[in-house]
Chain A
Amino acid sequence: MEGNCIEIKNLTKKYKKFTLDNVSIDVPYGTVMGFVGENGAGKTTTIKAILGLLAADSGSVQVMGEEAYNMSGATKEKIGVVFDVPPFPPALNAKQMNKIFQGMYKNWDGEKFFKLLEKFEIPTDKKLKGFSRGMGMRFSIAQALSHGAELLVLDEPTGGLDPIIRSETMDILRDFMAEDEKNTIFFSTHITSDLDRLADYICFVHKGKVVFTEERDTLMEKYRILKCTDEQLSLIDKEDIIGMRKGRFASEVLTNAADKYPDIAADVPNIDEIMVYFISKDGE
C-alpha cells in the first residue's frame, strides 16, 4: 500500500526544561521505523503525539490520514499500543482484563488474545502485579495484537528484557509484519541491536531534534569511519566530516564521502557508532 501511515511535519512541543523541536518523520505503510535516541531525547513525547496523548504547539501529526490529536475511534481501533511500562491495573488478572478490553475495542478478539497468552506462557488467573517485566511486556503485546491493529506503536518494548525474550519479541513483531502488507510498526528503543533485527528505517533523535532518518541498509552502506593521521585529517574536506574523534596519535572521522579518500583506511561503523559520531563535537 502506498502512502505514509504516519506523517509528522515540523512537530514542536515545548516543556519547561525540554523542547521537541521541528521534528519531521514519514513512516510509509508496510514498513518498520526504528526510533532511536538516548534517554530524554524526545522519543516518548513523539510517541505521545502520534497516539493523541498530547497536542502539538506547532506542526502536524497525521496517522492513517487523520490528525492525531482528533483521531476518530475507528482509527484508534487500528492502532495497537505498547507502553514502556504496562499500563494495566495491577490488581486485575488477564481474564478480567479481557472483559475490559471487550468494552474498549469493537473488534476485540478474545480467542486470539488467550491463544497469544498461551503461546507466551502468560497465566490468566495471576494478578498483573505478580508479572515479571518480560511477562508484562508480552501481555501488552498480546493485547496490542488482539483487536485487528494495522499499526503498532511501541515505546521501548524490549528495555530490561533478557536477550532470549528480546529475540522472541522481535520474532512476534516480524510475524505481525508478514500478516498484511499494510501493517506498520513504529517503535522506539535505545537498544540498537533491535534495529538490526527489524527496522527498515532508522530515525535518530537527539535533544529534541531529528539528526537523521535513513533506510537501515543505506545507512550501513553510506557511512564509513576513516582512521587518519593528522596529515591525512588536514586533507579531508570539512564538509565531508560528520563527526570526529581525535586521539593522541590518530583521529577517527565519520563521513559519507569515503570514496573521495581511497588512501585512508576505512571501517564500516555500526549504528551505535554512527549515532555517537553524529553527536560528537570536536572529537573528544
Chain B
Amino acid sequence: MKGMITQWLYSCKWLLLGGLGLSVALAVAVPVLYNSFMNSGDPKGVMMAMMMPILAILFSVAIPMESLSSNFANMILCRFQAFSVTTMKPIKFCFSHLAVWGIAAVYSAVCTVLPIISMSVFIEGYTGTMLLDNIKLGVSYIAFCTGFDYIIGALTIKLKSRDKAAILGLAVGMGIGIAAIIIAAANNIDVDLMEVITTIGNNWYIVAGGMVALIAVGMALMLNFIRKGELS
C-alpha cells in the first residue's frame, strides 16, 4: 500500500501543487470578483457574484480531482498495477487504490476549504447557513466523485482505456438520472433539482451511504476483473 501511495505522489506531484495553487488563486480572486460584481449594481453582475462561490467550490474540487483521477488512470494503465498485485493480495490491492483515492479526497477537501474560508472572511454576509451549505455541497461532491472515480478506475482495468471507462461511467450515470426524471414525469412527480441536491447535501447518511455503495461496486468489479486475468 505504501508503495502505491508513494508511486502516486511521485507521479502526481506537479498536479498536486498545481491544484493547490489553483485553490489559493481562487481564494484570492473570488472575494475580489464577488465584491466587485456586487458593488457594480448591475443585475447581471449581482447574478455572477452569487454564482462565484459555487463555481469556486466546483473548480477547486473538480479540476484537482479530475487531474488526479486521470493521472491515476495512467497509473492504472501502466503495468505497474499488475506488478503491484504480485506483491500483495488482490483485496489489499483494491484497498490500496482506495487509500490513494482517500488521500486525493482529503487533498480536494483542503483545496475546497481554502476558497470557502477566504469567502467567509472577505465576503460580507457569506457566513452561517450559506457557508455551511457550500461546505456540505463541496464535501458531497467529493464523496460521490471518490466513489464514482473508483468505479471508473475498475472499468479502466477491463477496458484498457481511461476514456472509454469515463464515457461508459458517464453514460450509465446520466442514463440513471434521465431514467429517474422520466419515471418521475410519468408519475406526475414534480422534481426540483436544486432541492434534490440540497437534500442530498444536507443528509450525511445519503452521502456516506452513496459513497460506500459506489466504492463497494467498484471494489467488486476490480476483484472480478483481476480474477479473470484482465490486469496486465
Contacts and interface: CB of A to CB of B under 8 A. Distances in A.
Interface of A: 13, 45, 48-49, 51-55, 69-73, 76-77, 79, 81, 83, 85, 87-92, 96, 99-105
26 contacts: A45-B229, A48-B229, A51-B85, A52-B86, A53-B85, A53-B86, A53-B231, A55-B228, A55-B229, A69-B227, A73-B88, A76-B87, A76-B89, A83-B79, A87-B78, A87-B79, A87-B83, A88-B78, A89-B78, A91-B11, A92-B10, A101-B3, A103-B4, A103-B6, A104-B4, A105-B87
A83 B82 contact: yes
A100 B83 contact: no
Contacts of B5: 103
Contacts of A81: 83, 86
Given A88-B78, A92-B10, 11 more contacts: A54-B229, A55-B227, A73-B89, A79-B86, A83-B82, A87-B78, A89-B10, A91-B11, A92-B11, A102-B2, A104-B4
B84 interface: yes
Contact of B7 (A13, A49, A89, A105): A89
A94 to B, nearest CB: 12
The 3 residue pairs across chains A and B that have the minimum distance between CB atoms: A54-B229, A103-B2, A104-B3
Given A85-B79, A89-B7, A104-B3, A70 B89 contact: yes
B97 to A, nearest CB: 14
B232 interface: yes
Interface string B1-38: 11111110011000000000000000000000000000
A92 B13 CA distance: 12
Contacts of B82: 53, 83, 87
Q: B interface, how many residues as a size bin?
A: 20 to 34
B169 interface: no
A127 to B, nearest CB: 11
Interface of B: 1-7, 10-11, 75, 78-80, 82-90, 92, 226-229, 231-232
Contacts of B87: 73, 76-77, 104-105
B3 A53 contact: no
Contacts of A92: 7, 10-11
A55 B231 CA distance: 12
A269 B4 CA distance: 49
Contact of A51 (B1, B4, B78, B86): B86
Contacts of B92: 73
Contacts of B80: 87-89
A85 B90 CA distance: 21
Contacts of B226: 53-54
Nearest to A84: B79
Contacts of A91: 11
Given A53-B229, A71-B89, A89-B11, A103 B83 contact: no
Contacts of B89: 52, 70-73, 76
A190 to B, nearest CB: 19
B225 to A, nearest CB: 10
A103 B3 contact: yes
Contacts of A102: 2-3
A14 to B, nearest CB: 10
A90 B71 CA distance: 13
Contacts of B228: 54-55
A281 to B, nearest CB: 31
B62 to A, nearest CB: 24
Contacts of B78: 87-90
Contacts of A85: 79
